[in-house]
């Protein structure tokens, strides 16, 4: 079974700008956010996850259990509340974030020592790659 636990550092990010625009993130925040190199600290215990995304500017914390819907506040991002649910698709973690924005969600998977994150909102897809610290 896959274990996402660990500390991961961003190495590349494609179309984060488009994703942030789709979320309606303001200009000033986008300019700062796109030069950040966030770090993710993931704790996985059975079906329970916590994911801390940390940067010098702002951070975001989320925790969930597989298959259990939760209220997500997206505090520090776009602040829109979502009903979110994360499930397994084989070895991929797939989150659907139901709210005002269509087609919102993300997928996490691991290839070798790299963690991939695909962020989706409306017609925008951002792909980020993280390397194990
Ligand atoms: C930062 C900086 C401030 C602006 C934005 C950010 C985006 C954070 C995102 C976090 C996603 C977290 C996920 C957790 C689960 O794996 C970096 C906080 C917009 C998009 C998907």
Q: What is the pLDDT of residues 75-115, one digit of tens each?
A: 999 999 999 999 999 999 999 999 999 999 999 999 999 99
Query: Which of 60, 74, 117, 127 to mutate to test ligand 1, by most ligand atoms within 8 A of the CB atom?
Result: 60
Retrieve residue 80's tokens: 């829109």
pLDDT recorded at residue 1: 77
ipTM of the complex: 0.93
The dihedrals phi and psi of 36, each to the nearest 5 degrees, come to -70, 150
pTM: 0.97
Contact 39, 10 (CB under 8 A): yes
């Amino acid at each position: 079974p896959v274990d996402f636990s660990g500390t991961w550092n961003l190495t590349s990010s494609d179309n984060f700008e488009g994703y942030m625009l789709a979320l309606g993130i303001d200009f000033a925040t986008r300019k700062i956010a796109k030069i950040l190199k966030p770090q993710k600290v993931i704790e996985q215990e059975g079906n329970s996850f916590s994911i801390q995304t940390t940067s010098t500017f702002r951070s975001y914390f989320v925790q969930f259990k597989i298959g259990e819907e939760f209220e997500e506040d997206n505090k520090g991002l776009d602040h829109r509340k979502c009903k979110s649910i994360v499930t397994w698709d084989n070895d991929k973690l797939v989150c659907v974030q139901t709210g005002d924005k269509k087609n919102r969600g993300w997928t996490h998977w691991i290839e070798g020592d790299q963690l991939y994150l695909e962020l989706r909102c409306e017609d925008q897809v951002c792909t980020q790659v993280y390397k194990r610290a």
